[in-house]
Amino acid sequence: MGRLLPVLVFGLAVLGFALKCSATTYTVGDTSGWDISTDLNTWSNDKKFNVGDILWFQYSSSNSVSQVSKESFESCNTTNVVKSYTGGNTTVTLTHAGDWYFVSGNKLYCLGGMKLHAEVENNQAYAPAGAPQAATGSGQGDHLPQPTSKSNIPTSSAFINCGPNVFLLAILGLIASMLYTDVKM
């Protein structure tokens, strides 16, 4: 029993850190996707985006997504973009806190409301690792799972890189449990 307690404490500590370091993948627009018919403003209203979360844009191959500045967002300027995505399936990892702006590459769609403002909060436990990007224009994104119901619940949650702090705390927990075991002997 004396050796089991430190192992149990260490295991619970690691599990606690892992649970704090989860990120969420949001399917933008839920089952409607990145589409002119989707009310993206309403969709994003109840979301709490954190650093490390992933936005998954699903759209037709004739459309696109552009990350833009606040000014370009407000005026639907689709020529002055930070980054442009095509191909029908795009993931964007929110790597830093602050305001992120996305618009449709089609200015008329943007003017019709096909744009997204994501306010990203800093959760301090995330070290950016980058999400895999979908292949552009190759049709390789067809195998991605499709959401089955329309809701405002995130489509998935995954454990991702949580930064060096978690690793350091896990090692310190292991050392503490080893020292505790030595003291008990």
Q: Each residue of 47-105: pLDDT tens digit?
A: 999 999 999 999 998 899 999 999 999 999 999 999 999 998 999 999 999 999 999 99
| pLDDT score for 123 | 75
Q: Each residue of 121-176: pLDDT tens digit?
A: 987 554 455 555 554 444 444 444 444 443 444 444 444 445 555 555 566 666 76
Do 61 and 73 fall into the same domain?
yes
| pLDDT score for 34 | 95
Do 183 and 102 fall into the same domain?
no
Do 103 and 179 fall into the same domain?
no
Do 12 and 89 fall into the same domain?
no
Q: Sign of torsion, CA 165 122 71 68?
A: positive
Nearest-5° angle of CA 97, CA 107, CA 118?
A: 15
Q: If you average pLDDT over residues 20-49, what whole number do you get?
A: 90
Do 71 and 127 fall into the same domain?
yes
Residue 120 CA to residue 102 CA, distance in Å, equals 13
| pLDDT score for 150 | 38
Task: Give pTM, 2 decimals.
Answer: 0.61
Which residues lie closer than 8 Å to 90 by C-beta, 6 or more apart? 56, 57, 59, 65, 133, 134
Q: If you average pLDDT over residues 108-122, what whole number do you get?
A: 95
| pLDDT score for 154 | 46
Assigned token pair, 173: 């927990």
Do 39 and 126 fall into the same domain?
yes
Going by C-alpha positions, the residue among 63, 99, 98, 70 that lies closest to residue 84 is: 63
Q: Sign of torsion, CA 34 126 51 10?
A: positive
> Does 14 have pLDDT greater than 80?
no
Q: Domain limits at 14?
A: 1-21+162-185
Q: How many domains in the chain? A: 2
